[in-house]
Amino acid sequence: MKQELSISKLVKKVVDNHPTISDCLKNKLLNYTSTAKLIKPEIEKITGSEVSLESVKMALIRYSDEVSKDRSLHDEKIRKVIAETTLQLRNEVIVLTIRWETFVTKFDKILNVIKNSRFFQITQGIDTFSMVLEKKNLFSLMKVISKEEIIDIIEDQSAIVLQSPKEIITTPGVISFITNLFFKNGINLTQVISCYLDTIFIVNSKDALIGYQLLEETVNLIRRKYK
């Protein structure tokens, strides 16, 4: 019984570390025998000993029953937030990362440059500050920040901005739903920024229109259910 319990815990751990398997498990779309064969070597690597295929399969079935009970309720909450979300696309932005000391000591000068900008975001790290700003402001900003104070500049970026209802704050899984959508379509996220009800995804400009249309189609599809 003890070994069976440990196999169950290991199966949960392995499945949770494989998003595609986890999604299929929640929706009961798995062939349990095939999946058990797939993850069995990974479990054996963790345990350092051989485990039976049947025990892995049964653990998968039990875990599927467990997670699928909550899936419908969680999915419905996520879909309602998505349905009330609006989208914006901002092109020609850059991501500028500078030293922490530079931002603090030159804050007033930086603020003076970007105060009239229509799009500007700041993220504080341990040793750095990253700023997402319109490309047209870079020239003016470079007058107050030296090249030596700049750690990195990522150009050719766009911002996909989502404005959601207040429920996004208390609804787990909304951001995961969206980032998984990007992941499945091969869209890399340069940055993800959250500001109250706004969620901002910074992507390469070549992916911006595809990403925006993907989200727009998803939002419109979900909205149809609530009309």
Single-letter code of the amino acid located at 205:
S
User: And the tokens for 75?
Assistant: 């999915």
pLDDT tens track for 56-112: 999 999 999 888 776 767 888 999 999 999 999 999 999 999 999 999 999 999 999
Of 95, 93, 190, 193, nearest in space to 134 by CA: 93
pLDDT tens track for 115-163: 888 899 999 999 999 999 999 999 999 999 999 999 999 999 999 999 9
How many C-alpha atoms does 209 have within 13 Å on its Cβ side? 1
- Residue 143 φ/ψ, nearest 5 degrees: -75, -20
pLDDT at 36: 95
Lowest mean pLDDT segment, chosen from 3-7, 63-67, 94-98, 185-189:
3-7
Average of pLDDT values for 205-220? 96
Domain ranges of the chain: 2-70, 84-226
15/193 Cα distance (integer angstroms): 28
pLDDT at 128: 97
pLDDT tens track for 28-56: 888 999 999 999 999 999 888 899 999 99
pLDDT at 67: 83
Strand arrangement, sheet containing 189-195: 120-124, 128-134, 86-99, 150-163, 198-204, 189-195
pLDDT at 227: 61
**Residue the block writes with tokens 């925006």:** 212
Segment (H or E) for 60 = helix 53-83
pLDDT tens track for 15-32: 999 988 988 898 888 899
| pLDDT-based confidence at residue 1 (cuts at 50, 70, 90) | very low
Task: Please give the CATH number for the structural domain made up of 84-226.
Answer: 3.30.2130.10
Single-letter code of the amino acid located at 204:
N
pLDDT at 106: 96
Indicate if the pLDDT at residue 4 is higher than 70.
no
pLDDT at 2: 44
